[in-house]
C-alpha cells in the first residue's frame, strides 16, 4: 500500500512526508498519551480485545514485558 492508498482505504488516519514525519508522530503521540494514563483500565481493555491467552501476554510478548518491567532492566 502506498500512503495515499492506505489513507483512502481507511488503514491509516493520516500520512506525512519524510520531512514532516517526526513532527506528525510527536503530535499523534501527544494526543494518544492520555489513553495510557490508567494502565489497569488500558490493560483490561487490551485483554478483552485480544483474550487472556493472547501471544502478547506470553513471556516474550509486549504486554508481559510491560506488566513485569522490573524483570527486564
Q: Which pLDDT band, with edges at 50, 70 and 90, does 15 fall under?
A: very high
Place of cell 510491560: 66
Q: Which pLDDT band, with edges at 50, 70 and 90, does 17 fall under?
A: very high
Residues 6+ away with beta carbon under 8 Å from 14: 7, 24, 28
Per-residue pLDDT tens over the stretch 30-70: 998 887 788 888 778 877 777 767 776 778 777 777 777 78
41-44 long-range contacts (CB < 8 A, ≥24 apart) are 43/67
Query: Using an 8 Å Cβ cutoff, are 50 and 44 in contact?
Result: no
Query: Using an 8 Å Cβ cutoff, are 63 and 40 in contact?
Result: no
Amino acid at each position: 500500500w502506498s500512503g495515499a492508498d492506505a489513507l483512502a482505504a481507511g488503514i491509516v488516519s493520516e500520512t506525512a512526508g519524510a520531512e514532516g514525519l517526526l513532527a506528525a508522530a510527536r503530535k499523534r503521540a501527544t494526543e494518544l498519551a492520555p489513553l495510557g494514563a490508567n494502565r489497569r483500565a488500558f490493560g483490561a481493555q487490551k485483554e478483552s480485545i485480544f483474550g487472556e491467552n493472547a501471544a502478547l501476554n506470553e513471556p516474550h510478548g509486549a504486554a508481559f514485558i510491560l506488566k513485569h518491567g522490573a524483570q527486564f532492566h
